[in-house]
Amino acid sequence: MEDLVAEEVRNQMAQLSPRLTQYIKRGEVETYALNHLPTLYASSREGWLHQQKRGRVELHNQIKTSVRQALMAVQRDPLRSSTPLVKEQHQEEPEAKVLEEPVTMTGGQSKQTPTHPYYWQQESQAARNRRRAQ
Q: Dump pLDDT digits (tens) for 81-114.
A: 667 676 544 444 444 444 444 544 444 444 554 5
Domain count, the chain: 1
Domain span holding position 49: 2-133
The whole-model pTM stands at: 0.59
pLDDT computed for residue 75 by the predictor: 79
Residues of the chain with pLDDT under 70: 76-82, 84, 86-134
Cα 32 from Cα 112, distance rounded (Å): 25
Residue 13 three-state SS: helix
pLDDT computed for residue 116 by the predictor: 45
What backbone phi and psi angles, to 5 degrees, belong to 90?
-115, 160
Contact 122, 116 (CB under 8 A): yes
